[in-house]
Amino acid sequence: MSRRAATLTAASVIVLVLALIGSVMKVPYVALMPGPTSNTLGTNDKGQPLIRIDGRQVYPASGHLNFTTVTYRGGPGGRIDLLTALRGWIKGDTAIVPEETIFPQDESPKQVDEENTRQMQDSQQNAEAAALHELRIPVATRVVIDGIQKGRPADGVLKPGDEITAVNGTKITNVAQVTGTMDKHKVGDTVTLAYTRDGKQNTATLKTVATPNGDRPAVGIVISDEYKFPFKIDISVGDIGGPSAGLMFSLAIVDKLTPGPLTQGRFIAGTGTITPSGEVGPIGGIQQKMIAARRSGATIFLTPKDNCSDAKSARPDGLRLVRADTLHGAVQAINALTSGKGPVPACP
């Protein structure tokens, strides 16, 4: 055998061995890829309206307002191999990120899934509140206990799901009122909480203790605002988690509750978290979400301002980026696009 042939044979063997090693060597990374997109004005995978509104006049809507998702491979118990990671680094539509980016070391995969589900539920409620805020439809709130801290005064007395209705006889309807009333006390003071459980009114008198940082009185409850909407809004997206669809949910609700189609038949996609007052927040996986949007047919992509820098550097051809700072701004931008009048905010 010639020296050249021997060298090629040895190199081939080395490449084969490395390939075999790479195909079985698991690495602590996760591959992020473009996921499915869904039209918030359309139906879900069961053929039901993705957003259904009952008890209020609803108007026909057309076009697309798609929310976008990211799918992943890897994670604890199902790690990707080295070759998959290398291919992901090479491919333009895949991001390879450290495993702890998606699965924090102090949380189990089940806890991560539960948190994603909770974030989706919160985003839906925030989206509904933001849409009604944009349309100036009054929304009432109530204060609900989300969790009880073990070993604190409320442990064994109050439960998740209890509705706090008053503190020391003062009626409250939002979290800010609870914290404001509590801050008027000193650590060691006694407070009386009125609450509703299973339709029954109750009271609990508790001695306050210091918060972990020691500067405020507390009884060991985790509370949140829960909105009481004047009519029913159902959002059904199936097994999808996370908070990033909030903006698109809000836009679809606004569209359904106002005469005339907001998009005028255009294919608009986007992403962004939403607060009850309509502030749009940044999300992760912007590159993969833009690719997913373009592949589905979108020509316009609503982009949170804090994602603009990354979005501009990875924008697919044929996709126009429109900056979305607030829900109100996003509605105005779409109206400007469809009418051809007025400025359309772009990523700087």
User: Which residue in 123, 244, 250, 305 is the catalytic one?
Assistant: 244
Rounded to whole angstroms, the Cα distance separating 320 from 299 reads 6
User: Which residue in 123, 250, 256, 289 is the catalytic one?
Assistant: 289
Inter-residue long-range contacts of 183-191, CB under 8 Å, 24+ positions, other chains counted = 183/216, 183/217, 185/217, 186/217, 187/216, 187/217, 188/217, 189/217, 191/167, 191/217, 191/219
Residue 171 catalytic?
A: no
SS3 content of the chain, % helix, strand, coil (to 5): 30, 30, 40
CB contact at 8 A, 225 and 175: yes
CB contact at 8 A, 185 and 153: no
CB contact at 8 A, 192 and 204: yes
Tokens linked to 112: 């991560």
Residue whose tokens read 């005469």: 259
Residue 46 catalytic?
A: no
For β-strands 267-270 and 29-39, DSSP reports them as unpaired
Q: Which residues are catalytic?
A: 244, 289
